Every structure is written in structure tokens, then in C-alpha cells.
Amino acid sequence: MSRNLPEQFQQYLPGHGDVILADAVRNAQQNGTRIVMDTKMVSEPTRVPPQYISEPVKLIMDAEPETGLINDMKDIDGFSREYSIAGFMDHEPGKPYLTLGLECVQEFFDIPDTVKPVWNNQNQTWTFGPLNIQANGNSNNFLVNYYGPPSGYKFPGTSYPPWGTFPRYSLSQVLDTQDFELSEDLDWMSQFIPGEIPAWILAIEDETEREKMMAMMGVGEGFDIRNSPFYNKIVILGVSVEVLHDVKSTPFYNYLGKTQDTPGMETHANAIQTIIHGNYLNVFGGKLTRLFHDGMYPFVHFLVIAGLCIIAYVLFKKLDVHPILAGIIILMEGIIYYGLALGLFSNDIWWMVKSSIAAILPHSIHDIFYESLQVKLPEPGKSYVMPIVAPLSGVVITYVSNMIFQFLNEQKDKKFLKDTFGTYISPELIDKMNEEHQAPKLGGVQDYHTAFFSDIQNFSTFSEVLDPERLVRLMNEYLTAMTDVLLAHEGTLDKYIGDAIVAFYGAPAPVIDHEKKACATSLAMRARLKKLREKWKKEGDWPEIVYSMRHRIGLNCGSMVTGNMGSDMRMQYTMMGDTVNLAARLEPAAKQYGVYIIVGENIYETSNDEYVFRFLDFLQVKGKKIPVRAYELMDTKDSIDRPVLDLIETFEDGLDHYFKQDWDKALDLFKKSESMELHFEGRNTTPSVVFLDRCKHFKEEPPEKDWDGVWKMVTK
């Protein structure tokens, strides 16, 4: 500004500023203006007493201005949110030294100097004359309810007008009277001086317009001092340039995406205005707390934190949903609480709904409902402050800790499942059990499952032609390949009995369509064994019996008991029951019919929509009183060949005549089906040969009249 001042302004600069200032203070006070000057409470450890009040120089203090402390009140993050009512020195604990803002308020309300702030512990307020100042907890500070960003600040690059939080005037405006010639000379201050009319008003040629402007500005004959912007106002003098470092970070530091510090003098203005309006912040629990930095939290804050954490826990645990979905639900909880907290602060709990609707509505519709969608400012004293950081941190900690706990628990459960069932079922099935929280039930559990038995044909011969080492190597390769197929189809390995494989489906984890899975396993094992035979033959160092290896499989489904069974010293997860016994009997029965996959009628009933079976016989296995229908699993319906279907049709026609005791017709059909049977090395008989022999036997020695067609097996 000094560059624009004319030279004549220099003559008005005082030779000694303190003298002029002291005279100005006296003159102002003599004319009814009360002056409050800033002081500071200073501590010097080497001084006695160590604390004292640093005042302006004696020359100025002789003018007897009032004084007020301007000691900073900064939070741990460097922000100014609180304002002190008074300062107390250790050696004068009962003597309050009012802060600048409180001293100004005292003068504004004509509160006598003999009146001191009095603490009311019951409602945590300071009573100061007619004022009840709401403290932040048990302290001599109160929360400043800031009215807006720094006054006069304009965001660069935007169309927003300068912020007008408080009326703000530059020194050049106050000095701009008719006595001073400035580069932008408007004689602004002259309009507020009695008897002086600014030149720019006198320059208005239209007399009516000139008089109208004079009346509007309160100058001329109708001058009214009340039109002055400083009349009956608290005026704070200070600097706003940041280079002097008298700036504060306030809650409006980051506003509309822009950062801007507030001049120190304006923090006093906000504090004073908060007191004058009684616009205190009502803090839930009576005290604003800082996460990790306050020794004592209000009990109600703990209740809020605990309540939100319990809700988060219930949402996470009881809903039993995927952690990501649970996280989204808990995020919604946090958003709702955040919206409620800000709604209480703005005294409009629907602010988030209004803002969301306003953001998505087209401008044409938004303008119609503009008033309804406006988030209104709260009336003085109607803002409520809820804790946000600690409760939301509690929700996040609850979610994260539950996630970690669940992860560790799942790993523990998964390890337990793997340790318990790792040798029985596939890793995929273990993962499925873990995902579905299917804890294994130790002991016997009765349910509907499928039993599986397999055995190598003529295995005793292998031990005769192979030395033990080669036999073990062969069996390991065979059992590994077959077990891989079993586990890939969600089967549970029960045990190995020499060359035999015992398994079941549907336990310990449920398996959908376990009957069909067992059929698929059997066909896949047949195909896998064929590849092994080709491999062994190609290797060239195995005897013919090895690359001619065949195995037989018996399947049956029904009610059985599965679980850990055995002694207290050693237990094994296995199966028991009549269904299991029948499957165990069916597998060796396949040898008598010359077939390699034999199943019970329950398997047939549940799987014939996808698989092709051949009815073998109505037989009564050894150890069973009730006969069952036995079937040979041929192939899938998608893969079956036409000649095989012709074989099945011819053979089953022969069975119809067999059960009707039409031996001659049955013989003709079985002879025909025998010609269609598949013959290979090691297959000593076929179902057609078996029934040819039976028909010849019954033709010579007919059965009894009450013959029901059941064939009783006398060996396993």
C-alpha cells in the first residue's frame, strides 16, 4: 500500500509510534470507544516467579487500555478448535486473566471489572455476568463454532465471490478521507464523518440521484453515525499477511477442496461471535475427545463405541455372509452413523438424503424442490457434536479383528480337517467342507451314502511272478492312479486292503448325486487302467499278466454309518452297515458273471437316466436273506456303442424267457448274446455263458414249482 501513497501522506507518519498510539488510545476512550490490547502469559524457568504477563510498553499502558491474553490454544494436530476463557498463573491460581475475546465481550456487555468467571461443575459452564459459557469438559476452554472460511478470501480459478464471514476492511479504506489523496481515491471513510460529503457523491450531476445517494450513505444534513460499519461493533485490528505467521489452521482449513489458513485476528472474531450468539457446540458426553491422546473418555462415548462394535460384530458373525459382503454392510453402518453425526451437527438428520437426491435430480426438477432439498443451517446453540473417529475406528477394528480371527480359525479348522481327512478325501472336498463350515462329527453318523469296493482280478498270481520289490512298485503306481481318480470324483478313501480299495461317497462332506459320482469313478478307473496297461506293455519289462490286469468294482447305496471308529488308542474314519456288506459281496460276485463293474438296484434306480446298465440277475449273496437285483454298469448314455445296446437287448430278452422257464427260447437268445460279448485275455466267462449253463441245467433238472428266479450264492 505504501507505494501508492502520495508524498504528502508521509508527513502524517508519527516520529514515535508508541506516543501517537497512546494518544489515540486516550482519545478513543475519552470519546466512548473502549480499547483492548493484547498481552501474553509468558513462562521463564529462571525467573521468580517463572510466569508473568507480557504487556505493551509502559508508555501505552499509561493510556490505561484494557488487556486480554492471546496465548495460542492448539490441538495436537496443530488446529485451533478451542478458545480459552482466562489464564491462570501458578503463583496466583485464584486470579483469572481474561483472554482478548473475553475482555472484548466484557466491554461489549458492560460487565463490571469486579465480576469474574465462575465455574459451575454441575453443568460444566462458566458463568460470566449474564453469560453462561459452555466449557469443553472440565476446563476453562470452550469450542469455537467457526462461522466460515477466512473473510475476503477468494478461491483462485473459481467464480465464487470472496468469503464474507465477517465484514473486513483494509487500512487504506479507513485512512481514505478527503484529507488523503490515494491512487484509488474514493474518500471511503468520509461518508462516515459528520459534515463531510465524499467527492464522488458531489460529482453526481443529477440532484435527485445525489440526494438519494446521500440519504442512503447517511451523509449531509441527515447524517446518522449509526450507519457507520463500526458503530456499536467490536472491531479487531490485525494483519492478514501469512509472512508474519499470524495465521491459524481451523476446521475450515480445507474447504471445497482448497486449503487456506485463517488470520489470527479472525479466530478471535469467531470466538467472540460464538459467545455473543450463544452458539456453543453441544458435545455428546460434555467433552471433545481425541483418539489416543486423551487420558479419560466420557462413559457415554464408550457406550457409543461399544454399541457400534456390537452391531458390527452381529452383522459380521450372525449374518454368516461372505466377508466382502459383510464389509459392505458394515461400511453402510459406518456411513449411516457418519450421516447421523453430521445431521446432529447441522440440526438436519436428513441432510445426506437431501444431498443425495439433489445430486441425482435433473436441474429442472431440482429447481422445483430447491427449498425442500436445502440443508438448513442450525440455529444458535443447536449443533450437537458426536464422536466420529473413535466409534468408526472401533467398527473398523471390529471388522478387521473378526476377519483376522475368522481367517486364523478357518486355517485352524482347515488344518484339522486336513489332518483328520487329508488321507481320505480330496483337497477340494476339504475346502468345500471348510467353506460350508461343516465340522466333522466324530463317532458314528447314520446317513444315505454310496459304498465302493474294488479288487484286482487274480491278484495272487501277481505275487507269484513278481518279486516283492517290483510288486510293491506296481501296486503303488496302480493304487496312486486309482486313488487320484477316486478323489477327483469327490470320493472318500476308507482303506487299502492289499490290492483292494474301499471307499464311499457323501461323508464326511455331503456330495450331490453321489451315486452317479460313484458310477463316473468306476468308468474313469476302467479307462485309467487301460492306459496303465498300455504304459506297462510299452515299457517292455513287465510280464504279460501285468499289462493284462483287470479289476472288479462293486457299488451299492443306502443307509450306512460313517465316522471315526476303533479303539481309544487308534481310530479310523470308516463305514459300517448292511449297505456296505452288500457292496462288499457284490464285488466278488462279479467274478462269477465275468463282469467288471456290478451295482445294486439302488444305484440303478438313481443313475439310469445318465448311465446304461445290463440287468444281470436276481441273486441272494452269501450272508444275506433278502435277494437283490444286480446290474452291470456298461457306459454312459452319451458314449455307449450300438453293438453294446444290441447285446443288452438280446441278453435281457433271454432273461425274460429264463424267468418264464422257457429254456429253449432262452438258450437261443443267450447263444446269440454270447456271440456279441466282448472277449479278451483273462475273461474266463460272460453273463451269457453263465445263463447258457443254467438253462441247460434247469432243462434237465427243472426247478421247483414255487421257484422265484433267485440265484443263491454259496461263496463270497
- Give the residue from 147, 110, 117 showing the smallest Cα distance to 135: 117
- Kindly state the cell numbers that stand for 99: 483472554
Chain centroid to Cα 147, Å, comes to: 36
Predicted local distance difference test score (pLDDT) of residue 74? 86
- Kindly state the cell numbers that stand for 102: 473475553
E strand or H helix at 92, and its extent? strand 92-98
Residue range(s) occupied by CATH 3.30.70.1230 in the chain: 448-640
Chain centroid to Cα 658, Å, comes to: 70
**Helix residue spans in 153-246 (DSSP H):** 171-175, 199-202, 207-217
pLDDT along the chain (716 residues), means of 10: 47 67 89 90 91 92 92 86 93 92 94 92 91 90 91 75 85 74 69 67 80 68 68 87 81 81 92 94 77 63 85 79 82 90 85 82 75 78 86 89 84 73 65 65 81 94 92 95 94 92 90 96 97 94 92 97 77 88 93 96 96 96 88 96 96 96 95 94 92 94 90 78
- Give the residue from 78, 37, 53 showing the smallest Cα distance to 268: 37
State the CB neighbour count (10 A cutoff) for residue 416. 14
Predicted local distance difference test score (pLDDT) of residue 354? 82
Find residue 79's DSSP bridge partners.
249
Q: How far apart are CA 560 and CA 545, in angstroms?
A: 37
Find residue 500's DSSP bridge partners.
497
100's CB contacts (< 8 A; 6+ apart) are 36, 38, 68, 69, 70, 268
- Kindly state the cell numbers that stand for 250: 481451523
Predicted local distance difference test score (pLDDT) of residue 3? 47
Q: How far apart are CA 681 and CA 439, in angstroms?
A: 48
E strand or H helix at 693, and its extent? helix 687-700
CATH-assigned architecture of domain 448-640: 2-Layer Sandwich (3.30)
Q: How far apart are CA 480 and CA 680, in angstroms?
A: 25
State the CB neighbour count (10 A cutoff) for residue 687. 24
Q: How far apart are CA 595 and CA 615, in angstroms?
A: 12
Q: Please, is 538 exposed, middle or buried when counting C-beta atoms within 10 Å of its C-beta (0-12, 13-18, 19+)? A: exposed
- Give the residue from 96, 149, 168, 144 showing the smallest Cα distance to 276: 144
Predicted local distance difference test score (pLDDT) of residue 438? 62
Predicted local distance difference test score (pLDDT) of residue 622? 81
